[in-house]
Structure 1
Amino acid sequence: MRGQRGAVSMEDDDAESAAERPAKPTEQEVFDILSNRRRRYALYALLRDETATIGSLADQIAAWENECNIGDVTSAERKRVYTALQQSHLPKLERTGLISFDPDSGRVEPTEAVEELDIYLEVVGEEQLSWDQYYLALSAVSAGVVVAVWLGIPPFGSLPPLFWMTVVVALFGVSAAVHNYRSTGLAGAAEPPEVSRQS
């Protein structure tokens, strides 16, 4: 009887924790979560290994942070990341419904909500244009070409308008193909974009 009562109590606790966990984080929560590099790295690492432990996450994140292989991570580097994950980052990711974290076993698993974060994860360095800025600039250049062709400004007036229209369409087509190729999303990325640019 006592065992049955204990089982019921455990089921109730699981149901309560599932009810307390939000089904989907708000946009503000997403931006807050992704503002921290270690949390971003944790999400990338989790989608590479959905059966990760806090230890394997600490190893991978420390390797990315120190730009080295996992085997070259020192115990001090690993411990710093491990402690931060355990005390701060993983509990926060769990509270917002992005992961399931079992402190006893150390198991960490992503939830379905993580797959919806792709749109937020385009990380752009200070020296780089974002895609929206790039397309805005490309549109401005295209408008300039149209005006130059319309006014007959050399060399634009010396070639047929169909040629320039083809050039503009080709520019947008190539840009869209490159954008699509590079926007593989979280699950398709081998590593975080910051790490890719560093290597």
Structure 2
Amino acid sequence: MTSTSESLARSSNAPSTEPSADEPMDLSRDDIFHILQTARRRETVTYLLGEDEPVKMGDVAEHVAARENETTVAKLTSTQRQRVYIPLYQSHLPKLDEVGAIEYDKPAGIVYPTERLEAFRPYLEVGNADARATGSTAEQSLPSDVATTGLYYLLATTVSVCLLLAAVAGLVAIPGLALGVIITVLFVLTTIATTRVRRTAPLPHAR
């Protein structure tokens, strides 16, 4: 009969199937979507994915502020910096630290990207691919506007040339002044028509 002490010794030597308290759990899709639901956190994660070394919290805030205001870091105003710096400092970076995506030394203002940050990359790449696809579709709609206006002017030019040739050949009896007025009116109407086309053409998808 096996003694109780021997049983305990065997069980203590067996590998544990329970996760260690120090071992981080994998991020769930809900965790990832929760982090990426705000634009500032998405931009922060995107920026940190491109960094291999610890970065200053101020550098992160300036990058996010520049993207948010569609400008460069050098052209940011102090108000634009503060508007992003404070929420990042108080909320967004601590949230990323909470799920283990970064290690955030708040007193020192240093952000350390971790391996868990890579869990976000596939979701951001899918979002960027969708944005590029939407942008390319919008860009493809622009040539139709140009083609339509070009067609109008081509028709106006063709009609004008035909009238001039017919008048020179004596096929139509149109005085020179009247012919000039007809051609002028024709191009004025063409300009009005093309202006209306440009106004009603779909605009590129806003970012």
Once the two structures are superposed, the pairs formed by residues 40-119 of structure 1 within 5 Å of their partners are 40-49=42-51, 50-119=53-122
- The Cα offsets for residues 67-105 of structure 1, whole Å up to 9 and x where unpaired, read as 111100111111111101011100110111101100111
- Provide closer, same or farther for how the CA distance between residues 21 and 41 of structure 1 changes in structure 2, counting only shifts above 3 A: farther
Query: Size of the alignment, in residue pairs?
Result: 114
Of 37, 40, 53 in structure 2, the residue corresponding to residue 38 of structure 1 is: 40
Structure 1 distance, partners of 2:78, 2:26, is 35
Q: Given that residues 21 and 97 in structure 1 are in contact (C-alpha distance below 8 angstroms), is that contact kept between their aligned partners in structure 2?
A: no
* Change in CA separation of 1:87 and 1:93 when aligned onto 2, cut-off 3 Å: same
Letter in 1 for 2:37: S
CA distance in 1, matches of 2:36, 2:123: 8
Q: Alpha-carbon deviation of 1:46?
A: 1.4
For residues 23-50 of structure 1, the C-alpha deviation after alignment (integer angstroms, 9 at most, x for no partner) is 4321101011011110111111112333
Shift of 1:128: 2.8
Matches within 5 A, 1:182-193: none
- How far did residue 20 of structure 1 move? 7.2
**SS of alignment partner, residue 33 of structure 2:** helix
Give the whole-Å Cα distance in 2 for the aligned partners of 1:120 and 1:127: 16
The alignment's C-alpha RMSD in Å is 2.6
SS in 2 for 1:109: strand
**Pair 1:83–1:25, CA change in 2 (3 A):** same
Q: Which has the higher contact order (CA 8 A, sep 6+)?
A: 1
Share of identical aligned residues, percent?
38
Q: Which residue among 129, 134, 145 is the counterpart of 1:128?
A: 134
Question: Runs of at least 4 residues of structure 1 off by over 6 A?
Answer: none
Gaps of 5+ in 1: 1-18, 130-196
In the TM superposition, what whole-angstrom CA distance separates every residue of 1:116-166 from its partner, at most 9, and x where no partner exists?
Answer: 22221121349839xxxxxxxxxxxxxxxxxxxxxxxxxxxxxxxxxxxxx
Letter in 2 for 1:25: L
